[in-house]
Amino acid sequence: MTGRFITLEGGDGAGKTTQAELLTAWLEEHGRTVVRTREPGGTDLGVRIREIVLHERGHIAPRAEALLYAADRAHHIETLVRPAIARGDVVLQDRYIDSSVAYQGVARGLGAEHVRSVSEWAADGLEPDRTILLDLDVTVGRARVAAARGDTFDRLESEAAAFHETVRRAFLDMATADPERFLVVDAAEPADVVQQAIRSAIGPLVGIDEG
């Protein structure tokens, strides 16, 4: 089997975890080996970096924040993702370089191109075969996170609504610029409708033909 690298992107509360679980089950039913992972925090080292970037109490300089995400990514891609793709697995990853571009590059104002090039260097140029963008109104996403977890927001989630609006816009702009790689799904639809759209797009990539 040919290894594949599929990434999921979107704001908080868009349903990435639910969709990843449903897609994993479907891929496994069709005999594919799936590695589900995430950034930040897909490795033991990454879990420690995740703790810093999401829960550090004091200020983190924006460039340091960008480099922490990049450090997590460098280690994760080299030690976990590339070996899985080389084995022929399907890697289904929650967040990747596009998140750094949207959050640090655009919303934090560090510059989309700078942040993308740092991340591409960190990942030694690994590109996703397909990126699923779960697009959702910011207020709706926030309400979903609050309902699921109570009002405990991490460092990034605690940013103002305008920050998250900027993130949303940045993701949509990236999708428009690269329609071959991105599939944009309306995450306000019921979970099974969203999942169907994802399966239709991913099926041909992983050799599953449901007719």
Q: What is the enclosing helix (H) or strand (E) of 10?
A: strand 4-10
All residues at 6 or more sequence positions from 87 whose CB lies less than 8 Å from its CB, including other chains? 3, 33
The stretch near ligand TYD (CB under 6 A) out of 33-41, 74-82, 84-92, 176-184 is 33-41
9 is a site residue for ligand TYD (CB under 6 A): no
Q: Which candidate, 63, 96, 93, places its Cα nearest to that of 3?
A: 93
Residues comprising the chain, all counted: 211
| Residue with Cβ nearer ligand TYD (120 or 208) | 120
| Residue with Cβ nearer ligand TYD (89 or 94) | 94
Binding mask of the shown chain, residues 40 to 69, with x at each position contacting ligand TYD by CB under 6 A: x-------------x--------------x
Q: Of 9, 12, 89, 135, which one interacts with ligand TYD (CB under 6 A)?
A: 12
Residues 111-150 that bind ligand TYD (CB under 6 A): none
| Residue with Cβ nearer ligand TYD (43 or 99) | 99
| Residue with Cβ nearer ligand TYD (4 or 38) | 38
Q: What is the Rg, in whole angstroms, of the alpha carbon atoms belonging to the chain?
A: 16
Q: Which two tokens stand for residue 134?
A: 């779960």
37 has which bridge partners?
A: 93
Within 13 Å, how many C-alpha atoms sit on residue 52's CB side?
14
5 is a site residue for ligand TYD (CB under 6 A): no
Phi-psi region of 39 (alpha: psi -120 to 50; beta: other; left: phi over 0): beta
135 vs 4: CA distance, rounded Å: 23
182 is a site residue for ligand TYD (CB under 6 A): no
Binding site for ligand TYD (CB under 6 A): 12, 38-40, 54, 69, 94-95, 99-100, 103-104, 154, 156-157
